[in-house]
Structure 1
Amino acid sequence: MTRRLGSGCLVIATHNAGKLKEIQALLDPYGVKCLSAGSLGLPEPAETGTTFVENALIKARAAAEASGIAALADDSGLSVAALGGRPGVYTADWAERQWFEGEPGRDWHMAMGKVEGMLAQRGPDVPRDATFHCVLAIAWPDGEHAVYEGTAPGTLTWPPRGTLGFGYDPVFVPQGYEQTFAEIAPEEKHRIGHRADAFAKLVAEQFG
Protein backbone atom coordinates (compact mmCIF):
# COMPACT_ATOMS: atom_id res chain seq x y z
CA MET A 1 0.00 0.00 0.00
CA THR A 2 1.42 3.36 -1.00
CA ARG A 3 1.85 5.88 1.79
CA ARG A 4 -0.93 8.47 1.86
CA LEU A 5 -0.61 12.24 2.02
CA GLY A 6 -3.78 13.16 3.87
CA SER A 7 -4.69 16.80 4.46
CA GLY A 8 -2.21 19.43 5.58
CA CYS A 9 0.65 21.29 3.95
CA LEU A 10 2.51 20.14 0.89
CA VAL A 11 5.49 21.83 -0.71
CA ILE A 12 5.13 22.21 -4.47
CA ALA A 13 8.64 22.09 -5.90
CA THR A 14 8.25 24.98 -8.30
CA HIS A 15 9.03 28.68 -8.68
CA ASN A 16 6.34 28.98 -11.39
CA ALA A 17 3.27 30.85 -10.11
CA GLY A 18 1.06 29.49 -12.90
CA LYS A 19 1.94 25.91 -12.12
CA LEU A 20 1.40 26.43 -8.38
CA LYS A 21 -2.07 27.90 -9.00
CA GLU A 22 -3.05 24.99 -11.24
CA ILE A 23 -1.84 22.37 -8.75
CA GLN A 24 -3.53 24.12 -5.82
CA ALA A 25 -6.84 24.13 -7.72
CA LEU A 26 -6.56 20.38 -8.27
CA LEU A 27 -5.76 19.67 -4.60
CA ASP A 28 -8.27 22.09 -3.03
CA PRO A 29 -11.02 19.46 -2.72
CA TYR A 30 -8.76 17.30 -0.53
CA GLY A 31 -7.89 19.91 2.08
CA VAL A 32 -4.28 20.24 1.01
CA LYS A 33 -2.57 23.61 1.43
CA CYS A 34 0.16 24.13 -1.14
CA LEU A 35 3.31 26.14 -0.50
CA SER A 36 5.73 26.80 -3.31
CA ALA A 37 9.43 26.10 -3.03
CA GLY A 38 9.93 29.66 -4.24
CA SER A 39 7.94 31.17 -1.34
CA LEU A 40 10.03 29.15 1.11
CA GLY A 41 13.26 30.32 -0.49
CA LEU A 42 14.31 26.82 -1.49
CA PRO A 43 16.92 26.60 -4.25
CA GLU A 44 16.10 24.95 -7.56
CA PRO A 45 18.13 21.75 -7.94
CA ALA A 46 19.90 20.96 -11.19
CA GLU A 47 17.63 18.80 -13.33
CA THR A 48 20.24 16.31 -14.49
CA GLY A 49 17.87 13.47 -15.34
CA THR A 50 17.24 12.25 -18.86
CA THR A 51 13.57 11.34 -18.27
CA PHE A 52 10.56 13.13 -16.82
CA VAL A 53 10.49 10.63 -13.91
CA GLU A 54 14.13 11.24 -12.98
CA ASN A 55 13.75 15.02 -12.99
CA ALA A 56 10.48 14.97 -11.02
CA LEU A 57 12.09 12.85 -8.33
CA ILE A 58 15.17 15.10 -8.16
CA LYS A 59 12.94 18.13 -7.51
CA ALA A 60 10.58 16.41 -5.07
CA ARG A 61 13.39 14.89 -3.00
CA ALA A 62 15.30 18.17 -2.82
CA ALA A 63 12.21 20.08 -1.63
CA ALA A 64 11.24 17.43 0.93
CA GLU A 65 14.74 17.29 2.39
CA ALA A 66 15.09 21.08 2.55
CA SER A 67 11.63 21.75 4.03
CA GLY A 68 11.17 18.70 6.25
CA ILE A 69 7.65 18.04 4.91
CA ALA A 70 6.25 16.09 1.99
CA ALA A 71 6.84 17.64 -1.40
CA LEU A 72 5.24 17.27 -4.81
CA ALA A 73 7.15 17.94 -8.01
CA ASP A 74 5.88 18.10 -11.54
CA ASP A 75 8.09 17.49 -14.52
CA SER A 76 6.25 18.06 -17.73
CA GLY A 77 7.04 18.69 -21.33
CA LEU A 78 6.04 18.59 -24.95
CA SER A 79 7.07 15.77 -27.25
CA VAL A 80 6.66 16.36 -30.98
CA ALA A 81 6.56 13.14 -33.02
CA ALA A 82 8.12 14.63 -36.17
CA LEU A 83 11.01 15.98 -34.10
CA GLY A 84 11.88 12.60 -32.62
CA GLY A 85 10.14 13.41 -29.34
CA ARG A 86 11.89 16.73 -28.83
CA PRO A 87 11.91 19.00 -26.94
CA GLY A 88 10.86 16.41 -24.32
CA VAL A 89 12.71 16.82 -21.02
CA TYR A 90 14.33 19.94 -22.47
CA THR A 91 10.99 21.69 -23.04
CA ALA A 92 11.76 24.53 -20.61
CA ASP A 93 15.38 24.78 -21.77
CA TRP A 94 14.21 25.66 -25.27
CA ALA A 95 12.70 28.82 -23.76
CA GLU A 96 15.93 29.95 -22.10
CA ARG A 97 17.39 33.06 -23.68
CA GLN A 98 21.00 32.96 -24.80
CA TRP A 99 23.30 35.87 -23.99
CA PHE A 100 22.56 37.50 -27.35
CA GLU A 101 18.77 37.17 -26.96
CA GLY A 102 18.19 39.64 -24.15
CA GLU A 103 17.92 39.55 -20.39
CA PRO A 104 18.12 36.13 -18.65
CA GLY A 105 14.78 34.33 -18.32
CA ARG A 106 12.36 32.25 -20.32
CA ASP A 107 10.83 33.39 -23.58
CA TRP A 108 8.02 30.97 -24.39
CA HIS A 109 7.14 32.65 -27.67
CA MET A 110 10.70 32.06 -28.78
CA ALA A 111 10.44 28.42 -27.73
CA MET A 112 7.21 27.95 -29.67
CA GLY A 113 8.90 29.55 -32.66
CA LYS A 114 11.78 27.08 -32.45
CA VAL A 115 9.37 24.16 -32.65
CA GLU A 116 7.48 25.72 -35.53
CA GLY A 117 10.69 26.55 -37.38
CA MET A 118 11.93 22.97 -37.12
CA LEU A 119 8.61 21.66 -38.37
CA ALA A 120 8.59 24.14 -41.26
CA GLN A 121 12.00 22.87 -42.35
CA ARG A 122 10.44 19.46 -42.85
CA GLY A 123 7.90 20.73 -45.37
CA PRO A 124 4.22 21.68 -45.44
CA ASP A 125 2.99 18.08 -45.07
CA VAL A 126 4.95 17.27 -41.91
CA PRO A 127 2.79 15.53 -39.27
CA ARG A 128 2.00 17.90 -36.41
CA ASP A 129 1.13 15.30 -33.79
CA ALA A 130 2.36 16.16 -30.31
CA THR A 131 1.85 14.99 -26.76
CA PHE A 132 2.12 16.79 -23.46
CA HIS A 133 3.59 14.59 -20.73
CA CYS A 134 3.38 15.08 -16.99
CA VAL A 135 5.06 13.14 -14.20
CA LEU A 136 4.08 13.90 -10.61
CA ALA A 137 6.46 12.71 -7.92
CA ILE A 138 5.73 12.83 -4.19
CA ALA A 139 8.67 12.55 -1.82
CA TRP A 140 8.69 12.37 1.96
CA PRO A 141 11.63 13.56 4.06
CA ASP A 142 12.46 9.96 5.01
CA GLY A 143 13.06 9.04 1.36
CA GLU A 144 9.81 7.29 0.46
CA HIS A 145 8.28 8.34 -2.84
CA ALA A 146 5.47 7.73 -5.33
CA VAL A 147 5.24 8.53 -9.05
CA TYR A 148 2.24 9.16 -11.32
CA GLU A 149 2.37 9.71 -15.10
CA GLY A 150 -0.17 11.41 -17.38
CA THR A 151 -0.45 12.41 -21.04
CA ALA A 152 -2.54 14.66 -23.29
CA PRO A 153 -2.34 13.94 -27.05
CA GLY A 154 -3.02 16.60 -29.65
CA THR A 155 -1.64 18.58 -32.58
CA LEU A 156 0.34 21.79 -33.00
CA THR A 157 -0.99 24.93 -34.66
CA TRP A 158 0.56 28.23 -35.75
CA PRO A 159 0.39 31.13 -35.01
CA PRO A 160 -0.12 30.94 -31.22
CA ARG A 161 -3.67 31.55 -30.00
CA GLY A 162 -5.09 32.44 -26.60
CA THR A 163 -3.95 34.03 -23.37
CA LEU A 164 -5.26 31.68 -20.67
CA GLY A 165 -2.37 29.23 -20.51
CA PHE A 166 1.38 29.32 -20.16
CA GLY A 167 4.37 27.65 -21.77
CA TYR A 168 3.51 26.00 -25.09
CA ASP A 169 -0.26 26.10 -24.43
CA PRO A 170 -1.00 28.67 -27.20
CA VAL A 171 0.16 26.30 -29.98
CA PHE A 172 -1.24 23.01 -28.63
CA VAL A 173 -4.70 21.83 -29.69
CA PRO A 174 -5.78 18.86 -27.52
CA GLN A 175 -7.34 15.86 -29.20
CA GLY A 176 -11.05 16.34 -29.81
CA TYR A 177 -10.91 20.15 -29.58
CA GLU A 178 -10.49 23.06 -31.99
CA GLN A 179 -9.19 25.53 -29.38
CA THR A 180 -5.67 25.61 -28.00
CA PHE A 181 -4.98 24.98 -24.33
CA ALA A 182 -4.57 28.76 -24.00
CA GLU A 183 -8.10 29.32 -25.34
CA ILE A 184 -9.80 26.76 -23.11
CA ALA A 185 -11.14 27.83 -19.70
CA PRO A 186 -8.82 26.75 -16.88
CA GLU A 187 -11.50 24.49 -15.38
CA GLU A 188 -11.80 22.60 -18.65
CA LYS A 189 -8.04 22.37 -19.10
CA HIS A 190 -7.75 20.98 -15.57
CA ARG A 191 -10.19 18.26 -16.59
CA ILE A 192 -8.53 17.15 -19.84
CA GLY A 193 -4.86 18.09 -19.51
CA HIS A 194 -1.78 15.95 -19.00
CA ARG A 195 -1.45 17.18 -15.42
CA ALA A 196 -5.10 16.28 -14.79
CA ASP A 197 -4.46 12.77 -16.11
CA ALA A 198 -1.53 12.33 -13.73
CA PHE A 199 -3.51 13.90 -10.88
CA ALA A 200 -6.41 11.50 -11.42
CA LYS A 201 -4.00 8.63 -10.78
CA LEU A 202 -2.50 10.40 -7.78
CA VAL A 203 -5.92 11.14 -6.27
CA ALA A 204 -7.12 7.57 -6.80
CA GLU A 205 -4.17 6.21 -4.84
CA GLN A 206 -3.64 8.99 -2.28
CA PHE A 207 -7.21 10.03 -1.48
CA GLY A 208 -9.38 7.24 -2.90
Structure 2
Amino acid sequence: MTTDQAAPDPLRDVVAVMDRLRQGCRWNAEQTHATLVPYLIEEAHEVAEAVDHDDRDNLREELGDLLLQVLFHARIAQEHPTDPWDIDDVAAALSEKLIRRNPHVFGDAVADDIDAIHRQWEERKQAEKARGSVFEGIPLGLSALARAQKVTARAARNGIAAPLPTDDSLGSRLLALVAEAHATGLDAEGELRRAARAWEDRLSAAESAG
Protein backbone atom coordinates (compact mmCIF):
# COMPACT_ATOMS: atom_id res chain seq x y z
CA MET A 1 0.00 0.00 0.00
CA THR A 2 1.37 3.44 -0.91
CA THR A 3 1.25 6.27 1.61
CA ASP A 4 -1.45 8.14 -0.32
CA GLN A 5 -3.88 5.21 -0.21
CA ALA A 6 -6.54 5.31 2.46
CA ALA A 7 -6.44 2.55 5.04
CA PRO A 8 -9.27 0.01 4.81
CA ASP A 9 -12.28 0.96 6.89
CA PRO A 10 -14.53 -2.12 7.20
CA LEU A 11 -17.14 -0.28 9.27
CA ARG A 12 -17.53 2.43 6.65
CA ASP A 13 -17.64 -0.27 3.98
CA VAL A 14 -20.51 -2.12 5.65
CA VAL A 15 -22.40 1.16 6.14
CA ALA A 16 -22.10 1.71 2.39
CA VAL A 17 -23.27 -1.86 1.72
CA MET A 18 -26.30 -1.30 3.94
CA ASP A 19 -27.11 1.92 2.10
CA ARG A 20 -26.91 0.11 -1.24
CA LEU A 21 -29.17 -2.67 0.00
CA ARG A 22 -31.75 -0.21 1.29
CA GLN A 23 -31.84 1.50 -2.10
CA GLY A 24 -31.49 -1.50 -4.38
CA CYS A 25 -33.27 -4.45 -2.72
CA ARG A 26 -37.06 -4.50 -2.49
CA TRP A 27 -37.11 -6.56 0.72
CA ASN A 28 -34.64 -4.26 2.45
CA ALA A 29 -36.50 -1.19 1.22
CA GLU A 30 -39.78 -2.38 2.72
CA GLN A 31 -38.48 -3.01 6.24
CA THR A 32 -39.36 -0.79 9.20
CA HIS A 33 -38.15 -0.58 12.79
CA ALA A 34 -41.15 -2.69 13.79
CA THR A 35 -40.65 -5.45 11.19
CA LEU A 36 -36.99 -5.83 12.17
CA VAL A 37 -37.61 -6.41 15.88
CA PRO A 38 -38.01 -10.23 15.59
CA TYR A 39 -34.69 -10.43 13.72
CA LEU A 40 -32.96 -8.32 16.37
CA ILE A 41 -34.20 -10.59 19.15
CA GLU A 42 -33.26 -13.73 17.21
CA GLU A 43 -29.73 -12.48 16.50
CA ALA A 44 -29.18 -11.59 20.16
CA HIS A 45 -30.17 -15.13 21.13
CA GLU A 46 -27.82 -16.58 18.52
CA VAL A 47 -24.95 -14.54 19.97
CA ALA A 48 -25.77 -15.97 23.41
CA GLU A 49 -25.83 -19.49 21.96
CA ALA A 50 -22.41 -19.03 20.37
CA VAL A 51 -21.05 -17.87 23.73
CA ASP A 52 -22.61 -20.86 25.49
CA HIS A 53 -20.88 -23.18 23.03
CA ASP A 54 -17.58 -21.27 23.27
CA ASP A 55 -17.67 -21.15 19.47
CA ARG A 56 -15.48 -18.17 18.63
CA ASP A 57 -15.82 -18.45 14.86
CA ASN A 58 -19.60 -18.56 15.08
CA LEU A 59 -19.54 -15.77 17.66
CA ARG A 60 -17.73 -13.51 15.19
CA GLU A 61 -20.35 -14.25 12.54
CA GLU A 62 -23.29 -13.79 14.92
CA LEU A 63 -21.91 -10.49 16.20
CA GLY A 64 -21.80 -9.39 12.57
CA ASP A 65 -25.45 -10.34 12.18
CA LEU A 66 -26.28 -8.37 15.32
CA LEU A 67 -24.31 -5.39 13.99
CA LEU A 68 -26.36 -5.64 10.81
CA GLN A 69 -29.50 -5.00 12.85
CA VAL A 70 -27.97 -1.87 14.39
CA LEU A 71 -26.90 -0.62 10.96
CA PHE A 72 -30.31 -1.42 9.48
CA HIS A 73 -32.21 0.49 12.16
CA ALA A 74 -29.84 3.45 11.83
CA ARG A 75 -30.26 3.45 8.05
CA ILE A 76 -34.05 3.50 8.38
CA ALA A 77 -33.78 6.34 10.90
CA GLN A 78 -31.98 8.47 8.30
CA GLU A 79 -35.22 8.62 6.32
CA HIS A 80 -37.36 10.14 9.10
CA PRO A 81 -38.98 13.30 7.70
CA THR A 82 -38.51 15.52 10.76
CA ASP A 83 -35.95 13.86 13.05
CA PRO A 84 -33.39 11.94 11.01
CA TRP A 85 -30.26 10.44 12.56
CA ASP A 86 -27.68 7.94 11.41
CA ILE A 87 -25.09 5.47 12.62
CA ASP A 88 -22.64 8.29 13.42
CA ASP A 89 -25.21 9.79 15.78
CA VAL A 90 -25.71 6.39 17.41
CA ALA A 91 -21.95 5.97 17.91
CA ALA A 92 -21.48 9.54 19.18
CA ALA A 93 -24.30 9.17 21.71
CA LEU A 94 -22.84 5.85 22.90
CA SER A 95 -19.37 7.36 23.33
CA GLU A 96 -20.76 10.27 25.33
CA LYS A 97 -22.83 7.91 27.51
CA LEU A 98 -19.87 5.64 28.29
CA ILE A 99 -17.74 8.61 29.33
CA ARG A 100 -20.55 10.17 31.37
CA ARG A 101 -21.44 6.96 33.22
CA ASN A 102 -17.88 5.90 33.99
CA PRO A 103 -16.45 8.88 35.91
CA HIS A 104 -14.08 6.53 37.75
CA VAL A 105 -12.29 6.09 34.40
CA PHE A 106 -12.87 9.42 32.66
CA GLY A 107 -13.21 11.68 35.73
CA ASP A 108 -12.27 12.01 39.36
CA ALA A 109 -14.81 9.63 40.90
CA VAL A 110 -13.63 6.61 42.88
CA ALA A 111 -15.22 3.17 42.61
CA ASP A 112 -13.44 0.60 44.74
CA ASP A 113 -15.27 -2.53 43.60
CA ILE A 114 -17.66 -3.91 41.00
CA ASP A 115 -20.73 -3.13 43.11
CA ALA A 116 -19.65 0.50 43.38
CA ILE A 117 -19.21 0.68 39.59
CA HIS A 118 -22.71 -0.75 39.09
CA ARG A 119 -24.22 1.69 41.62
CA GLN A 120 -22.47 4.61 39.98
CA TRP A 121 -23.79 3.56 36.55
CA GLU A 122 -27.35 3.18 37.83
CA GLU A 123 -27.24 6.51 39.70
CA ARG A 124 -26.10 8.33 36.57
CA LYS A 125 -28.68 6.55 34.45
CA GLN A 126 -31.49 7.31 36.89
CA ALA A 127 -30.53 11.00 37.00
CA GLU A 128 -30.26 11.26 33.20
CA LYS A 129 -33.65 9.72 32.60
CA ALA A 130 -35.33 11.44 35.58
CA ARG A 131 -36.59 8.11 36.86
CA GLY A 132 -38.26 7.91 40.24
CA SER A 133 -37.29 4.29 40.85
CA VAL A 134 -34.26 2.12 40.22
CA PHE A 135 -36.66 -0.49 38.86
CA GLU A 136 -37.95 1.72 36.04
CA GLY A 137 -36.66 0.89 32.59
CA ILE A 138 -36.39 -2.88 33.04
CA PRO A 139 -37.88 -4.15 29.76
CA LEU A 140 -41.24 -5.82 30.13
CA GLY A 141 -40.35 -7.98 27.12
CA LEU A 142 -37.65 -9.86 29.03
CA SER A 143 -38.45 -13.41 29.98
CA ALA A 144 -39.91 -13.66 33.49
CA LEU A 145 -36.71 -15.37 34.67
CA ALA A 146 -34.39 -12.72 33.24
CA ARG A 147 -36.59 -9.88 34.51
CA ALA A 148 -36.72 -11.38 38.01
CA GLN A 149 -32.93 -11.54 38.07
CA LYS A 150 -32.67 -7.95 36.83
CA VAL A 151 -35.00 -6.77 39.60
CA THR A 152 -33.04 -8.81 42.15
CA ALA A 153 -29.73 -7.35 40.99
CA ARG A 154 -30.95 -3.75 41.08
CA ALA A 155 -32.44 -4.21 44.53
CA ALA A 156 -29.20 -5.66 45.90
CA ARG A 157 -27.06 -3.03 44.20
CA ASN A 158 -29.07 -0.21 45.72
CA GLY A 159 -29.45 -1.68 49.19
CA ILE A 160 -33.21 -2.28 48.85
CA ALA A 161 -34.54 -5.33 50.65
CA ALA A 162 -37.91 -6.99 51.09
CA PRO A 163 -38.73 -10.55 52.18
CA LEU A 164 -39.20 -13.10 49.43
CA PRO A 165 -42.66 -14.71 49.28
CA THR A 166 -42.91 -17.54 51.77
CA ASP A 167 -45.73 -19.54 50.20
CA ASP A 168 -44.92 -22.79 48.46
CA SER A 169 -46.20 -21.79 45.03
CA LEU A 170 -44.13 -22.62 41.98
CA GLY A 171 -43.60 -18.94 41.24
CA SER A 172 -42.26 -18.26 44.73
CA ARG A 173 -39.92 -21.24 44.53
CA LEU A 174 -38.63 -20.06 41.15
CA LEU A 175 -38.10 -16.56 42.53
CA ALA A 176 -36.13 -18.01 45.45
CA LEU A 177 -33.91 -19.84 42.93
CA VAL A 178 -33.33 -16.58 41.05
CA ALA A 179 -32.27 -14.93 44.33
CA GLU A 180 -29.97 -17.89 45.02
CA ALA A 181 -28.43 -17.57 41.55
CA HIS A 182 -27.77 -13.85 42.07
CA ALA A 183 -26.25 -14.46 45.50
CA THR A 184 -23.80 -16.96 44.01
CA GLY A 185 -22.95 -14.81 40.98
CA LEU A 186 -24.78 -16.96 38.44
CA ASP A 187 -27.03 -15.92 35.56
CA ALA A 188 -30.27 -17.82 36.13
CA GLU A 189 -31.40 -17.41 32.53
CA GLY A 190 -28.12 -18.75 31.18
CA GLU A 191 -28.00 -21.62 33.64
CA LEU A 192 -31.52 -22.73 32.72
CA ARG A 193 -30.81 -22.33 29.00
CA ARG A 194 -27.72 -24.54 29.19
CA ALA A 195 -29.40 -27.15 31.38
CA ALA A 196 -32.44 -27.28 29.10
CA ARG A 197 -30.22 -27.67 26.05
CA ALA A 198 -28.30 -30.56 27.65
CA TRP A 199 -31.59 -32.24 28.55
CA GLU A 200 -32.88 -31.71 25.01
CA ASP A 201 -29.75 -33.40 23.68
CA ARG A 202 -30.38 -36.41 25.91
CA LEU A 203 -34.03 -36.54 24.86
CA SER A 204 -32.99 -36.44 21.20
CA ALA A 205 -30.54 -39.28 21.80
CA ALA A 206 -33.27 -41.31 23.50
CA GLU A 207 -35.60 -40.56 20.60
CA SER A 208 -33.02 -41.76 18.07
CA ALA A 209 -32.35 -44.90 20.09
CA GLY A 210 -36.01 -45.76 19.68
* Pair in the same fold by TM > 0.5: no
Please give the TM-score of this superposition, normalised by the length of structure 2.
0.29
User: Which structure features the higher share of strand residues?
Assistant: 1
Higher helix share: 2
Q: TM-score, normalised by structure 1?
A: 0.29
